[in-house]
Structure 1
Amino acid sequence: MLTAVTTAHEYTGSTIVIPVSVRDLVPRDLPSCTWSGSAAHLRQVERALERAAAGEVDYLAVCTPVDLPVAIGGIDYQASEESGTLWQLAVLPALQSRGLGTLLIQTAEQRIRNRGRRRAELAVEENNPRARALYERLGYAAYARKPDAWDEEGPDGTIRRHETMCVLMRKDL
């Protein structure tokens, strides 16, 4: 899949169009994905890629013409028998609000349909209204709330527990 992301320079009004493609994320991509989270997060992504090799998940990358990932995210087929569960969705901060997240999700939804599943699900933190607005714009509806928690590695290497409340959302495909 090839599409383009458009970005406008706020000072000159010029527009730059960059073609992007979507493919499977592979282990060699991980060093260029440090923008997506901590070292601990990248270790989780690495484990997800092992699961992808086993067919349990898909892990996608939206890439620039030089094949650098600028958006990534996974689809877990083991979390539910009826749905594909989107998780670890991330877009390079400098390129947010340029359509990359939409492209990533639409491609993930097609992968879910290709697996014979008719619904996509995801969880979004309550304190992330921007992401929730994107999901709602794409047709996802909230159906429940649940607490979630994970360990995060700080810049100094210390581990702290992150606890949050998530809104569960789903969309029929």
Structure 2
Amino acid sequence: MRVHGLPSCAMEITVCRAADVEMLDRCIGSPGATSFHARRFERQEQGLSTYLVAWYGRRPVGHTEVRWGGCDDATVRAAWPGCPEINALSVWPESLRSRGIGSALVRAAEERARARGRTAVGLGVADDNPRAAALYARLGYQALAPYLGRWSYEDHDGVTREWVEKLTFLVKELP
């Protein structure tokens, strides 16, 4: 796939390998002392998810994790049981956004869900991120339920930071 507005170079989406984690940390860092990329890769190794990485040339420019057990929020899981979640979609640096990388990552995640026999896939979008919400609507996702997303990380000083964010869970039925 070609990235809009950039010199000719193929973009490729691959399943994360152990050797990719260090490069992801260098190019798309984590806010804390513990690598988000290493945690996602570990979940993949446990069979809980598939961690996809978008590469432009030899550089990672985006990623997302397909969590096969669904959204962490119990209310969302109860409303749509068996629905895997596309989680932590990101394109970096910001100057590469709106060039088709995020759409390609979502499509790759959908293909993997279809290959596993799943009939729908979902994702959470922050209420304060209308740009992402517009992308997901263009890709056919529809609002299912509001919920609070919660996660934590250990910062560089060893302090555990807790995040709570207002989200809406969106679902797309897969043909």
* 1:70 Cα deviation after fit: 0.8
TM-score, scaled to structure 2: 0.82
How big is the alpha-carbon RMSD for the aligned residues of Structure 1 and Structure 2? 2.2
Query: 2: distance between equivalents of 1:151 and 1:129?
Result: 24
- Give CA deviations for 1:106-130 in whole Å, capped at 9, x if unaligned: 0110000000001011111101111
Q: Secondary structure at the match of 1:108?
A: helix
TM-score, scaled to structure 1: 0.83
Query: 2: distance between equivalents of 1:153 and 1:130?
Result: 29
AA partner of residue 57 (structure 1): S
- Matched with 2:57 is 65
Unpaired segments ≥5 residues, structure 1: 8-14
Unpaired segments ≥5 residues, structure 2: 71-76
* 1:30 Cα deviation after fit: 2.2
- % same residue: 30
Q: Secondary structure at the match of 1:166?
A: strand
Query: 2: distance between equivalents of 1:116 and 1:16?
Result: 37
* 1:163 Cα deviation after fit: 1.9
Q: Which moved more, 1:41-50 or 1:138-147?
A: 41-50
Query: 2: distance between equivalents of 1:117 and 1:31?
Result: 31
Q: Secondary structure at the match of 1:123?
A: strand
2:4 corresponds to 1:6: yes
- Matched with 1:46 is 38
- Native 8 Å contact 1:72 1:90 kept in 2: yes
- Matched with 1:10 is none
Q: Which runs of 4+ in 1 moved over 4 A?
A: 152-159
Q: Which moved more, 1:52-61 or 1:69-78?
A: 52-61
- Matched with 1:12 is none
Count residues in correspondence.
Answer: 163
- Native 8 Å contact 1:85 1:120 kept in 2: yes
Q: Secondary structure at the match of 2:140?
A: coil
* Higher-strand-fraction structure: 1
Q: Which moved more, 1:158-167 or 1:31-40?
A: 31-40
